[in-house]
Amino acid sequence: MSVSSHLSADGKLLTISIVGRFDFSAHQAFRDAYEKLAPMPCDIVVDMVETTYLDSSALGMLLLLRDHAGGDNSNIVLSNCNEDIRKILTISNFEQLFKI
């Protein structure tokens, strides 16, 4: 499990990539990826091309990110989700809060 992030040159797009299992062990690393950015970028992409698995604590972490990014005003895309992850996101109806 590892988390890496990349901020675009103009500071407007933040891409966070998660490799491996996205679970509670990613908690600190995930927060570190966005918490200290000021100002907060307008667009955020969470790239899960190499993410194998998502659990409910990960869902919680995504909610925290969304809250930090402005709640309803945020624009977060969850990209390259595999079938299992899509399933979990669908059951939780997270497409109502994030673009998938």
Partner 1 sequence: MKILIADDNRVERFILLKVLEQCGHEVIQAETGREAIQLFFEHRPALVFLDVLMPDVDGYEVAAAISGNDRSHWVPIIFLTSLTEASDLAKCIECGGDDFVSKPINRIIIKAKVDAFSRISKLYETIEVQKNEIEFHNEHLIKEQEAAKRIFNNIAHRGCLDSDNINYHLSPMSIFNGDLLLAAETPMGGTRLMLADFTGHGLPAAMGALPTSEIFYSMTRKGFAISDVMTEMNTRLHEVLPRGIFCCVVIADIDAVYEQISLWNAGLPQAFIINQNDGEIKSIQSSHLPLGVQSPEKFSVEPQVLAFGEKHKLLAVTDGIIESTNRNDEMFGEERILDYIKKDLELSRLSQPGPSQRNMCDGLVDKVVAFTNNAAQGDDLSLLEVSFPHHQKMDDNLLEGRQMTALTGTLDSSLSLSLRGKSLARFDPIPLLLQTILECRELTPHRSRIFTILSELYNNAVEHGVLGLDSKIKNGPQGFSNYYRLRHELLESLSDGQVTLKFDHRPLADGGEIIFDVVDSGTGFDVKKIDFSQGDEYSGRGLPLLLSLCDSLEQLEGGRHVRATYRWFARAGSSSN
The residue (of 4 and 56) whose beta carbon lies closer to partner 1 is 56
* DSSP symbol at 60: H
The answer for 4, left when phi > 0, alpha when psi is -120 to 50, beta otherwise, is beta
Least separation in angstroms between residue 19's CB and partner 1 is: 17
Collapsed DSSP state (helix, strand, coil) of residue 83: helix
The residue (of 1 and 97) whose beta carbon lies closer to partner 1 is 97
The residue (of 52 and 80) whose beta carbon lies closer to partner 1 is 52
Task: Of 31, 29, 42, give the one whose Cα is nearest residue 74.
Answer: 42
In degrees and rounded to multiples of 5, residue 69 shows phi and psi of: -90, 10
Least separation in angstroms between residue 52's CB and partner 1 is: 10
Which spans of this chain sit near partner 1 (rule: CB under 8 A)? 55-57, 59-61, 63-64, 67, 72, 90-94, 96-97
Least separation in angstroms between residue 37's CB and partner 1 is: 18
